[in-house]
Structure 1
């Protein structure tokens, strides 16, 4: 092997090491002067997040980029976007060029060293595979020969580390990307865990379900809750409420995650708090005895819209979106099932005691108080740490 070849391999190894360090470093610091490109493959496009260090870019940009203080941009977003689009060149295996469009440019000048971050959409020509291409990015490298650009793949799973695909440096200006379209089931476990985390930390969702289940073991008599209605009645009530709630939130989760139904966040959050207030009133005294399933299903539609916002932010597409909805929903159901399995024996034991009425009423009062507080906070658009 020639000395120059060995040096080139050494440089490449160092660049890859820098890339791995960059992917693990805290987000408030750019650990090296290299550029970074994170790719997310969709059903028909590739989304690229391109991070360029300003100190390096100003050596290549055709005109002043910042003022003398380094705090104010002198180039417009449109100029930067046009420049980047001209220096990002994806090519299909048959030699046809992809379409490059820069959706957004962000100046992160408060960071040291400062960065410019661009959201770029790469679209293949008709008939070309979306996960196979040759990618050239020389926004800085065409003027700064020793500049490196690291290219990594994100699979769209929250918390997953990007996978390094390669690096661009002097003498190696093209990254060959082959068949990187992720499997529809990639990240299934991560999305399942996200669903579990979302409802486990969603006190309002769990409080609605738990409060609605409080009188499940009781029978209604003359406008009040009477004694224990039997284990069979309890099991029937639990299955009815949980199934109806599942059907309701699953429907709007799917519609919301696909973007077919998008509701403003504030009214949805207020409606969720209202659902707790209604279930608390019913736990105090029967408002809709043996019709809890309809209430669970109706308010489940609202809760599903809140679930969908967490999934929609991942920007999944096609079969990956379908698999993601399934995984997320199964995570939600797993926590619900654990709640029911814990609550059912306690409800049977408590319903047979003389003091269950006081426990039920006290719980209903606490739930109603929390619901009223949530309604006020959310309707006013206030953000109180630990109480949102």
Structure 2
């Protein structure tokens, strides 16, 4: 009885957990760029319009479209909210920070409010920054800091667990930023729900549906892992190589694609991979499918680094560290999912019901994401 229940419920539950919610806004980042020159501070802060809508409410007429007029009407609240979530001190003394006239800037992730920042400090040898934007609303939010002083650039990432940084600007910029982007690479694939669901659907179609080399027959119970090991390796490797290629090309600005197109095609890949569980579309060519759509998924990963506008001297190291982090995070996902799917494969009763439910859940999420992203049904846009 336990195996029957596991077969019917666990796989659909995995899909629901992996997909989380229907929002296309799976990443929440702000970008804080500051320069220190003797006692003066200058720079800007980019905060997503969608995040500000969640934090203070911008959509006055509730039509799901944030206009410049609505942003302008809330400019005082936006400045007050931002100012209350960022503090800076130097040598133990608070710095005076002022937020100027806000503007709108379009990034890969969507529209952002551009907040100019100026200020004065007693000194800039030892700087302490504390950041708490969105942490009480979205624990997945990250604040990405790029601080320039004495021809050195210090990159840090604020999170609920690390909301304060102390930076000694008289010391050379160390390799901490490499570790920072390594962790960010892991984090961004773990919260990249569409990437996870795409990978999950491919693994389901390999481990549970067919025996490698078979001619379309249902996979028997207790199939040894070695029988589908190479298929799993081929799919994961193809996906890795593909998204690494486009991540590098897009970050270096060799190739560029519109953000809405990229996100829509990623959603389409989820929908098609879900249909493949229900009906064999490409089960004998899974690795080719993973490679083709992996190229598009790479553009999705690249949006994070592209929006940062990192200095040239940090670009290569950050790109390499971020990509390694993505791969490590992906390997961790595969190491968790494949054994679970293998255990489910032993529960033969009602397997068709379990697979049908899983395929349907993945397909529905993919289609809804596609509609949401391609038609902007619920994503705030500037009109």
The two structures share one fold, judged by TM-score above 0.5: yes
Residue in 1 that maps onto 2:368: 373
Match of 2:200 in 1: 210
Larger RCO (CA within 8 A; separation ≥ 6): 2
Q: Which sits farther off after the overlay, 337-346 or 234-243?
A: 337-346
Q: Which of the two has higher C-alpha Rg?
A: 1
* 1:38 aligned counterpart, secondary structure: strand
Pair 1:118–1:249, CA change in 2 (3 A)? same
Q: Distance between the aligned counterparts of 1:281 and 1:249, measured in 2?
A: 22
State how far apart, in whole Å, the 2-side matches of 1:117 and 1:162 are: 28
Q: TM-score, normalised by structure 2?
A: 0.57
d(CA) in 2 for partners of 1:40 and 1:232?
57
**Pairs aligned (count):** 249
The 1:305/1:40 distance shift into structure 2, 3 A limit, reads farther
User: 1:63: which partner in 2?
Assistant: none
Alpha-carbon contact 2:201-2:362 (below 8 Å) kept: yes
Partner of residue 326 from structure 1, selected from 320, 327, 332? 320
Unaligned runs of 5+ in 2: 1-29, 45-74, 81-96, 104-117, 128-146, 149-153, 159-163
The partner residue of 2:258 within 257, 260, 264 is: 264
CA displacement 1:210-238 (0-9 Å, x = unmatched)? 01110213227655644355422221111
Local SS of the residue matching 1:161: strand
Distance in 1, Cα, partners of 2:182 & 2:284: 32
Per the alignment, in what secondary structure is the counterpart of residue 158 of structure 1?
Answer: strand
Structure 2 CA distance for aligned equivalents of residues 271 and 381 of structure 1: 14
For residues 36 and 331 of structure 2, the distance between their equivalents in structure 1, rounded to whole angstroms, comes to: 34
Matches of 1:375 and 1:40 in 2, distance apart? Answer: 43
Relative to total residues, which structure has the larger helix share, 1 or 2? 2
Change in Cα spacing, 1:118 to 1:362, as seen in structure 2 (3 Å) is: closer
Residue 347 (structure 1) aligned with residue 346 (structure 2)? no
Are 2:206 and 2:283, in contact at CA under 8 Å, matched by a contact in 1? Answer: no
Alignment match, 2:277: 283
Contact 2:373 2:379 in 1 (8 A): no
Aligned-residue CA RMSD (Å) = 3.3
Looking at structure 2, the residues matched to 367 and 312 of structure 1 have their Cα atoms a distance apart, in angstroms, of 29
Distance 2:357 2:305 in 1: 36
- Aligned-pair CA distance for 1:115: 3.4
> Where does structure 1 lack aligned partners over 5 or more consecutive residues?
1-26, 28-36, 42-47, 52-107, 120-138, 141-146, 166-177
1:206 match: secondary structure: helix
Aligned-pair distance for 1:263? 1.3
- Is the deviation greater in 189-198 or in 280-289? 280-289
The answer on 1:300 being equivalent to 2:304 is: no
| Distance (whole Å) between structure 1 residues aligned to residue 357 and residue 218 of structure 2 | 14
Using the size of structure 1 for normalisation, the TM-score is 0.56
